[in-house]
Chain A
Amino acid sequence: MTTARGRTAPRTRIVVDGNSVHAVDGISLAAVLVGERRWSLRRNPVGDDPRGPFCGMGVCFECEVTVDGRPGVRACITKIYDGMRVETAVEEEAPHDR
């Protein structure tokens, strides 16, 4: 986690594509994902290229993910809570993958 000084703030656990992620309680889901450098969240329906959060204020719809089974949730205006289950539409590649 990049917020090095953040070790002592109360943390919560969410599940992103099946993996546990620990982050400061109540911050935005987009912050958790970007903090983990997990940038690609969906694919453009026309060109299929990966996309990630852009505007950070709910107007571009590039950060849409599925939260607790509900699709089309904008990560940038959603706060995390304990046990939140998040699915992105882009598989995380292992660094040596290609």
Chain B
Amino acid sequence: MTAERSAALHGEVVERDVVIVGGGPAGLSAAARLASAGLAVTILDEQPELGGQYYRRPAPAVAEQWGDHRPDGGRLIARVRAAGAECRTGHLVWGVDDDGRTLLASDAAGHPVRLRARHLVLATGAFERVFPFPGWQLPGVTTPGFAQHLAAGDHTTIGERVVLAGSGPFLLPVACSLIELGVTVVGIAEAGRPYRPSLRALGALGHPARLRELAGYVARLARARVPIWQETVVLRADGRDRVSSVTLAAAARPARPVRTVEVDALCVGYGFRPQTDLARMLGCAVRVDVASGDAVPVTDAAGRASRADVYVVGEAAGIGGVHAAKARGLAAAHDILTREVRETVPVAEVRRVASARRRLARFTALTDSLYPGPAALLATLAPALPADTMVCRCEAVRAEEIRATAAGSADGDLNATKAWSRAGMGPCQGRECGFAVAGLVRSVAPRPGAGDGESRVEVFPSRLPVRPIPLATLLELAGPDSQEGDRS
């Protein structure tokens, strides 16, 4: 589209000092600080309510009956509203116009909205890292985050007999939430060996509160007699129209079964991956994080990206948990306020946030070191993936097709593999299969001279729109002329 054409785009136009995409802990923290300093702030989220993943709000009826599990989230949202930030929920930001700065969004009814601001803050959070196995597309197999949202937000159980699997600290609070609702957690399969007798001692030795929290979960699960099977991964899930059993294997020999367990739900996740499509679409530089293999935007300490008018904050800038997400949101707000010269941010406030950020980064490094790094895991799991495993759920592409394409016509290139095999081309845009596809490509076609191969894991490029949007939205954006026919 030329500049002239985009000038002719239709729909509502919003101009603000700051536009924030994502209403989770990071975006909300930035919004509260900026709006209370008098800036014109708009915060958007595609969900029906603000809160993001961590502060996802329970329905009022649930909160009334069973309590609000995270009342601080409700208070933060109330502060954002009271400070005068414009809150647009049900708004999906799906792309960037050709001018490279106007965000393209659609509102809850599907009408187009365009937004421009002097400062863009991307706080789009993270999604769960999953890895396929035969049967993972069966209904009843989900991410741990889904089980957590059902339990904590909707007071609904995901099943009666559940196995949690994958890796990372998140499996523990999810297991505890399920137990609280009376679910039988048959066991937790953890790919690494993070839980050693010394872990409880670590907690007691004055390490940060969240490590103690972790030790607390372990203790609670021990009391409930929930086994934690360490160095164990899912080999396959079986069932007719719905999962009915899961077979586990030792992580070191992922193709050899060690036990089969009957379940009515199975939740598997390997932590989180930053959601960076918008940052990349805006041309922000990204780097490959060696331990995770994920693309992370390059930012300075305040979250400013390689483009001076774009900030990436919260887990979109790298996984670090809710407290780090909030600290990053605040640091970006301080930077923006300083640049706007509307207000001098008190030195003590800036220092407090900066030191919290450093402390939390050390803590993240400490917890990360307990669990296997995703890139290393991928190097073990990808070669062992059975040939007929459906890797791309959307386009139903199996491991053998991806391997053959990567080793053949695509010649080891991730994007060519995607284009030729169609893996990653469906509506989820490779969010669910991308990690595995990258691993499969590398396992059959290691980059010559790339050293250990692990540091070279690549990601699919971001594609417009970031989520499928109705054709009607595009037609309305293009204006009345187009509706007569040239596009349909």
Contacts and interface: CB of A to CB of B under 8 A. Distances in A.
A82 to B, nearest CB: 12
A9 B470 contact: no
Measured as residues with beta carbon below 8 angstroms from the partner, the interface class of chain A is 35 or more
A2 B143 contact: no
Interface string A55-98: 11111111000000000100011110000000000000100000
A22 to B, nearest CB: 12
The secondary structure that dominates the A interface is: loop
B140 A39 contact: yes
B142 A56 contact: yes
B182 to A, nearest CB: 8
A55 B432 contact: yes
Contacts of B394: 44, 46, 61
B157 interface: yes
Contacts of A47: 390, 396
Interface string B133-163: 0000101111101110110011111101000
B2 interface: no
Interface string A7-42: 011100000000000001111101110110001110
A6 B127 contact: no
Contacts of A44: 137, 393-394, 396
A26 B62 contact: yes
A8 B185 CA distance: 27
Given A27-B62, A49-B137, A62-B393, A55 B145 contact: yes
19 contacts: A2-B160, A3-B156, A5-B66, A24-B62, A27-B62, A27-B154, A28-B149, A28-B150, A28-B153, A35-B150, A39-B139, A40-B242, A44-B137, A53-B146, A55-B128, A55-B145, A56-B146, A58-B467, A61-B427
Given A47-B396, A55-B142, A72-B468, 18 more contacts: A5-B65, A6-B65, A10-B61, A24-B154, A26-B61, A28-B153, A30-B146, A30-B150, A31-B153, A34-B156, A40-B139, A50-B139, A51-B393, A54-B393, A57-B149, A60-B431, A61-B426, A76-B146
Interface of A: 2-6, 8-10, 24-28, 30-32, 34-35, 39-41, 44, 46-47, 49-62, 72, 76-79, 93
Shortest 10 CB-CB distances between A and B: which pairs? A56-B146, A26-B59, A52-B139, A31-B154, A39-B139, A46-B396, A61-B427, A9-B65, A27-B154, A47-B396
